[in-house]
Chains A and B, each alone.
Chain A
């Protein structure tokens, strides 16, 4: 558990270092994920500790998104006239994006006619 957490934090820290050194617009955690992925391929897979910690953290991703989601109910009175536009853009935009991506992927992966 602790060993796994140490590895994850070390990768995140390396990501932060790379981000600052190269001035990249990506968060350290995303770079850290790429670093860990490369390391796993180079070293031949995670050990038990890392695997256990990772599974546990991923299992609780939904919990980690709860506090920011609460913010949606506290955007304040200045935002009152923007709600319709935001909700419309999100619901309709997400619907169209899913349809677009699903249809495109299906078309691109269709099996060639026999």
Chain B
């Protein structure tokens, strides 16, 4: 069907949608709902529907871009190296928050989804929603969730995080960039981290820290909790 689309067409569509998203974002005065990732994804999905190209073909064309996510994750060590001295005096609060917050993120998502009638498969797919994509996919495979749903849930969470975090944290009067950056990395992983870097380099580095700690902790705890849940339930 859409063979003419090819690999380059898919990659080109992503880049054009991102550029258009960036322009919309800037024109709107940086309205969080129009963040390039969100606006660009909506534009891309609309284009794929119009052109009748299926998602798998599109994704195959974007493998080069997905490959860069690996080195980009490693690269987060550089800003972290420059900002880590700012962690002094905050080690205990940050560690307590990541343990309690990561657990809270999983339990609140599962509780609400269960209450709204999600099936077990959806629940398993949602458990790792606050974790950075590569770790979330690993966890989801491990516990028997659907990888496509998990990936969607993770990015949706990131989008919700960058829309919700600024007003909520301002309302709580959390204005230290180290603290709100950390919250964004914890609740909204890579998408929140990217957004935090746009606002302030210190917030970005602390978001990386939050992302890394939440991901590590979740990768160990979620599979164990699911196994325990199956054993007792």
Q: Enumerate chain A interface residues (CB-CB to B < 8 A).
A: 5, 8-9, 11-12, 15, 25-30, 32-34, 36-37, 40-41, 45-46, 50-51, 53-55, 57-75, 79, 81-82, 84-106, 108-109
Main SS at interface, chain A: helix
Interface membership of chain B positions 147-164, coded 1 if the CB is closer than 8 angstroms to chain A and 0 otherwise: 011011111111111001
Assuming the contacts A41-B81, A104-B101, asked whether A64 and B65 have C-beta atoms less than 8 A apart, the reply is yes
A30 engages B135 (CB within 8 Å): yes
The reply to whether the CB of B52 lies closer than 8 angstroms to some CB of chain A is no
Contact A72 B135 (CB under 8 A): no
Write out the residue numbers on chain B whose beta carbons fall within 8 Å of the beta carbon of A55. Answer: 75, 78
Beyond A33-B212, A67-B62, A97-B187, whether A62 also contacts B36 by CB under 8 A is yes
Chain B contact-residue range equals 35 or more
Instruction: Report the bound CA distance from A13 to B94 in whole Å.
Output: 29
Q: Which of B81, B135, B168 sits near A98, CB closer than 8 Å?
A: B168
Given A98-B169, A108-B93, residue A26 in contact with residue B68 (CB < 8 A): no
- The reply to whether A57 and B68 form a contact with Cβ atoms under 8 Å apart is yes
Interface of chain B residues 12 through 50 with chain A (CB within 8 A): 14-15, 17-18, 21, 35-38, 40-42, 44-45, 48-49
